[in-house]
Amino acid sequence: MEKPDNAHFYDSLDGLRLYYRDFGADNPGTPIICLPGLTRNSRDFEDLATLLGERRRVLTPDLRGRGFSEHDKEWRNYHPGTYVQDTWTLLDKLGIDKVIVIGTSLGGLCAMAMSGQQPERLAGVVMNDIGPEINPAGIERVQAYTGRVPDVGSWEEAATQTKEIYGQWLPGLTDDDWRKMAWRAYREDEQGIPRLDIDNNIGEAVRTVGPQKGDPWALFDSLRQTPVLLIWGEMSDILTKDIIDKMQARKPDLKVAAVKNRGHVPLLDEPECIAGIDAFLTEVP
């Protein structure tokens, strides 16, 4: 898999070489940074970033241990606090003082942590199927498979495996859709065999390091003055209606885009997502 023309690298504070793509770098307005889910990478945002990159600057980094970013020998660093530090490092390197964050699952948790540290730097946040509270059934499911996915021998097997993991939560996808999802999650090794593009030690971190530091509801409350769009897959086992009700009680101006026939997580190419994000961005200069 070749790196695209808009691919770049930067160094983390602890010396890892980290990857990101830069769409529409010369566009006006507040830039956007897209932060991926736990086991995914920047390729999940390729279509959305291409679309939004016609109007805004859009950054799509690979978190450490994923995609083209280096793996961390100290797996306990696979933690939201470290990802947030890496994100600030990238933004500071590029001289970006204020940003809109689109965060899928883990990426949304990172957005809340960023707000807890420097709320004045967030112009807006889109949280994709995540909140300050996580349904225990969803946590158990994610912990069970992260870092424990068996190897595959071909791209067809990779697509089948992707469907086995996510099929219950993404009904209606075609075979081509599953191949596309697999292409975004796997990368060929030297023998041409697709391998899941993630450090398996991330699973160990998820199961042993524990939650991010700080009260997650306090982090959410730090977004009180920040425009927030919450995307909700109505079938989600991570974000439930009860959690959303609690979020809206604490932040009455929270906007919610509900996505039918989607669990955890919406792919951000659904009409409800595109319309919600487009409307949201018209309100954030």
Is the Cβ–Cβ distance between 132 and 247 less than 8 Å?
yes
Distance CA 50, CA 251 (A): 31
On whether the pTM is more than 0.85, the answer is yes
State the Cα angle at 260 between 255 and 265, rounded to 5°: 75
pLDDT at 209: 75
Do 101 and 237 lie in a common domain? yes
Give tens-digit pLDDT for 105-156. 999 999 999 999 999 999 999 999 999 999 999 999 998 889 899 999 999 9
Do 127 and 156 lie in a common domain? no
Domain count, the chain: 2
**Any domain includes 2:** no
pLDDT at 2: 65
* DSSP class of 151: P
Is the Cβ–Cβ distance between 46 and 181 less than 8 Å?
no
Do 40 and 95 lie in a common domain? yes
SS3 66: strand
- Per the listing, tokens 């830069």 go with 22
Do 165 and 260 lie in a common domain? no
Do 125 and 159 lie in a common domain? no
263: tokens are 């669990």
Mean pLDDT value across residues 48-74: 98
What proportion of the chain, given as a percentage, has pLDDT over 70? Answer: 98
CATH number at residue 221: 3.40.50.1820
Do 125 and 216 lie in a common domain? yes
Give tens-digit pLDDT for 149-207. 999 999 999 999 999 999 999 999 999 999 999 999 999 999 999 999 999 999 999 98
Range of the domain at 180: 148-197
Distance CA 266, CA 262 (A): 6
